[in-house]
Structure 1
Amino acid sequence: MDESVALAPDLALLAALRRTGNLTAAAAVVGIPQPTASRRLAALARRLGGPVTAPAGRGIRLTRAGTLLAEAAERALTAVETGVRQAREEIEPERGHVVLGFLHLLGRSLVPRLVRDFRAVRPHTRFSLVQGSRQQMVDSLAAGDLDLALVAPPPDEPAFASAALEQQPLLLSVPAGHRLAGAAKVHVADLAGESFVQLEHGYGMRQITDDLCAAAGFTPRVAFEGQESDTVRGLVAAGLGVALLPRFEPGAPAGVVEVPIDPPVTRTIGLVWSADAPLTPAVRAFRDHVVAQA
């Protein structure tokens, strides 16, 4: 028997152990008793000719060899899961599952609208929705954890394919009593002495703001960082700084004034998918639906 075939039944256990860091939890994930899991790991070690786990306090940890095998197992299991989804959707093309990642801000209106309109024509499609920073979405897409991602801006890398959906204007958000609150427009260079409220590194808006300030000849003085634009706006409303953000719909929240930037600044919102991984019928149909809205 080929060695990889012989090892296959225990790979899911090893992958679960890497994710959970606990043998009892890993056994529960794969649906076997803990003693059975221990015996399987011991048998796996004998077959490999070396240990895949080592004691760690009252628990265990993966050895370097075990980690390498677990990482390979996770990649293989992701491919198998994709294959199972493709097979099921080939049999029942109207029923499928789409794992969609998106930036927090896009969950306010864009994502609900796209999903609602698609479900109007394919009501049996199931969605798993994942929010996070731009970098988190790109990393998850590369790892195969997402089918599609809505990010801004789309990554310019050969591993990904993308379609631009819209150009979203960016405005300066300032506290209601700020010196620029009544301005008709503002130049980025005028903000050199301001305290900024920023999203954390890894968010597209953070990179855009840093790049705009650098082009204007200064480094922004960051007073506070957050992970959601609503939090950033709340800090602006409290008078703790200014921020560059997309327009708030339907209108700026209490305590915040949005001022146009001159020259105008926009960011590109795009739908992204893996350039190489095959798309299931449901994912392909949703991608085509979203691109048609552009």
Structure 2
Amino acid sequence: MVHQPSSQPRLSPSSDTEDMAEMSKVLAPRLAYFAGVARTEHVTRAAQEMNVPQSTLSRSMVRLEQDLGVDLFARHGRTVSLTPAGRTFLASVERALAEVERAAEEVRADADPATGKVAFGFLHTMGAETVPGLLHAFRADHPRVRFSLVQNYGEAMLERLRAGELDLCLTSPVPDAPDLVARRLDEQKLRLVVPADHALAGRRRIRLAEAADETFVTLEPGYGLRRITDDLCKEAGFKPRIAFEGEEAETLRGLVAAGLGVALLPPPAVPRPGVVELTVTAPRAAREIGVAWLEGHPDTPPVAAFKKFLLSRRGSLLPT
């Protein structure tokens, strides 16, 4: 079979990435047509099964062969058969179409109101008690909704939110950015945690300024709680002297228990031996907890339901 030169892009050994992208756009709409003709080995029958005009299907196959620069079919009157090149191409086309169908089924399943999925991020400090309690309460009315859970610090979660990897996240401080929507849900008091044998351990309350000479253990820069710690110490009139930086609040509690410093932390899910937790009377030591999502991002039904649930928990998000 002889084909006239095509004005469409052609694959060649010298094709660069841009050429390949252009070729993909040309080929993609014709792959299902090709698979249908290859399956039936009859253009008329394939056109009837796919509910497209026979002339459209015939032209599409000719253009596909022109774009590839190879014969995919041998013509025998009204029937066709695959050439060796056609059989090779069909194997890859069927895999590609199966992958597209799998992806379509997956996104349909994720959007299903009853059984869909929510990608939900939250702070490490909320993983032991708060988030399990929230999910348990939500699933009382939505027992089959699935969750993809991500624990991280605030800025990292916001990056994943912007990248489309998360639908919602619980974070602190509550972000203020034009591309995000955020709602304050609750606040969590912070305590000054000191070793059990510390000179301050006999106290129940303390002004933060009284800890100005202490060595602190804190979360690393970039964590919301680190920023709050720095701001509260500044408000109390000093810059904290930092000995250790970590990534999890419970690790910091362990460092405090080992006598390596003091820390400003939210309450633990379970009391930890070896430390005493003091109420900070001044300045007011608390962190706001909020839920954030991407501005203008459409919600699937399960995401919309979980967002509504979280907003209904304003003022009662955290365990008392």
Q: Assess if the C-alpha contact under 8 Å between 2:180 and 2:293 holds in 1.
A: yes
Q: Assess if the C-alpha contact under 8 Å between 1:149 and 1:273 holds in 2.
A: yes
- Following superposition, the deviation at residue 83 of structure 1 comes to 11
The one-letter amino acid of 1:265's match is A
Corresponding residue number in structure 2 for 1:6: 23
Corresponding residue number in structure 2 for 1:125: 145
In structure 1, distance between residues paired with 2:203 and 2:225: 23
Q: Assess if the C-alpha contact under 8 Å between 1:97 and 1:283 holds in 2.
A: yes
- Following superposition, the deviation at residue 93 of structure 1 comes to 2.1
| 1:160 matched to 2:171 | no
In structure 1, distance between residues paired with 2:276 and 2:169: 31
- Following superposition, the deviation at residue 285 of structure 1 comes to 0.5
In structure 2, distance between residues paired with 1:126 and 1:249: 25
- Following superposition, the deviation at residue 275 of structure 1 comes to 1.3
| 1:262 matched to 2:267 | no
Corresponding residue number in structure 2 for 1:212: 232
Distance verdict in 2 for CA 1:274–1:176, change over 3 Å: same
> Secondary structure, in 3 states, of the residue corresponding to 2:118?
strand
Task: Give the % identical residues.
Answer: 45
Distance verdict in 2 for CA 1:89–1:198, change over 3 Å: closer
Q: What is the number of equivalent residue pairs in this alignment?
A: 221
In structure 2, distance between residues paired with 1:160 and 1:206: 22
The correspondence of residues 28-47 of structure 1 with structure 2, limited to 5 A, is none
In structure 2, distance between residues paired with 1:246 and 1:124: 32
So what's the TM-score if we normalise by structure 2? 0.64
> Secondary structure, in 3 states, of the residue corresponding to 1:186?
strand
Which residues of structure 2 form unaligned runs of 5+? 1-7, 10-18, 28-102, 315-320
Q: Assess if the C-alpha contact under 8 Å between 2:114 and 2:142 holds in 1.
A: yes
The correspondence of residues 183-198 of structure 1 with structure 2, limited to 5 A, is 183-198=203-218
Q: Deviations over 1:221-271 (max 9, x none)?
A: 1111111111000000000000000112343x1010000111231111111
In structure 1, distance between residues paired with 2:123 and 2:196: 27
In structure 2, distance between residues paired with 1:201 and 1:82: 41
The correspondence of residues 234-273 of structure 1 with structure 2, limited to 5 A, is 234-251=254-271, 253-263=272-282, 264-273=284-293
- Following superposition, the deviation at residue 7 of structure 1 comes to 3.6
The one-letter amino acid of 2:277's match is E
Distance verdict in 2 for CA 1:6–1:257, change over 3 Å: same
In structure 2, distance between residues paired with 1:232 and 1:156: 28
The one-letter amino acid of 2:159's match is D
In structure 2, distance between residues paired with 1:106 and 1:160: 21
- Following superposition, the deviation at residue 113 of structure 1 comes to 0.9
- Following superposition, the deviation at residue 281 of structure 1 comes to 0.9
Distance verdict in 2 for CA 1:5–1:116, change over 3 Å: farther
Distance verdict in 2 for CA 1:222–1:83, change over 3 Å: farther
| 1:95 matched to 2:115 | yes
Distance verdict in 2 for CA 1:201–1:82, change over 3 Å: farther
Deviates further, 135-144 or 181-190: 181-190
> Secondary structure, in 3 states, of the residue corresponding to 2:155?
helix
Q: Assess if the C-alpha contact under 8 Å between 1:174 and 1:257 holds in 2.
A: yes
So what's the TM-score if we normalise by structure 1? 0.70
Q: Deviations over 1:13-59 (max 9, x none)?
A: xxxxxxxxxxxxxxxxxxxxxxxxxxxxxxxxxxxxxxxxxxxxxxx
The one-letter amino acid of 2:301's match is P
Corresponding residue number in structure 1 for 2:164: 144
The one-letter amino acid of 2:255's match is L
Larger radius of gyration: 2
Corresponding residue number in structure 1 for 2:48: none
In structure 2, distance between residues paired with 1:82 and 1:244: 47
In structure 2, distance between residues paired with 1:163 and 1:242: 31
In structure 2, distance between residues paired with 1:9 and 1:256: 67
